[in-house]
Amino acid sequence: MTIEPSPNGSWRHYEDLGLPKPLAAALAAFVEQGYHGTSIRDVAARSGLSVPGLYHHYPSKQALLVGLTTVVMDELLERCRAAESEAGDDPSDRFDAVIESLLRFHMFRREQSFVASSEIRSMEPASRAGYVAQRDEQQAQVDRIVLAGIDSGAFEAGHPEDASRAVVTMCVAVAVWYRPDGELSPDELVARYLAIARRMVGAKRVGE
């Protein structure tokens, strides 16, 4: 999946991800029952396949989990890169865009994000290492922006890397509690949490 930078902010717009039937079935089962509570037979039944038919596409339950987490992280990284590229050179604008992208992603892909975060414990070592590397890449992007803001004088955090990790953790946690019918609309949540994120890094431009 590729999200191209656009003056219209394509990274802000979300449609159905169009997961293959086995991955969509695995996602629903993992959300409802957890990885260890889900059987291959359950995923096969949900996807309308026989067990041998499912194995033809995904040779194990672990392969289904890895397939899901790879889709999640690839899309997240694509969207955040597009957001930063579109924002230009100013660290404050880049910070706002990437944090907004993280917030929107964890609202609109909350089930996928929840499974990826909560089931890291279920990944085999090599799969876990790949997922962690992508997660670290995401964190490094925000770290670079925050440090650039410190260098430019736009941010004043005493411990910028700690502040950066705290901001990303806050954004990721949105997937746990956000509901479309909740108190805040997506735009209202972005405005409120972006103001909080700016304060966390000591931004001179706060606002809400």
The count of structural domains within the chain is 1
Cα–Cα distance, 101 to 72 (Å, whole number)? 14
- Is residue 118 situated within a structural domain? yes
Q: Report DSSP state, residue 3.
A: -
- Is residue 19 situated within a structural domain? no
pLDDT value of position 8: 53
- Is residue 185 situated within a structural domain? yes
Range 1-9 average pLDDT: 48
- Is residue 207 situated within a structural domain? no
- Is residue 7 situated within a structural domain? no
User: Which residues fall within 8 angstroms of residue 104, CB to CB, at 6 or more apart?
Assistant: 12, 14, 186, 190
**Residue type at 199 in one-letter notation:** R
| Half-sphere exposure at residue 114, Cβ-oriented, CA atoms within 13 angstroms | 20
- Is residue 164 situated within a structural domain? yes
Q: What is the mean pLDDT of the chain?
A: 93
pLDDT digits (tens, 9 = 90+) for 48-60: 999 999 999 999 9
Asked if 138 and 83 count as a contact pair (C-beta separation under 8 A), the reply is no
Q: At 17, is the secondary structure helix, strand, or coil?
A: coil
Q: Which domain holds residue 188?
A: 61-200
The pTM assigned to this predicted structure is 0.90
pLDDT value of position 177: 94
pLDDT at residue 47 tops 60: yes
pLDDT digits (tens, 9 = 90+) for 67-120: 999 999 999 999 999 999 999 999 999 999 999 999 999 999 999 999 999 999
pLDDT at residue 5 tops 90: no
- Is residue 157 situated within a structural domain? yes
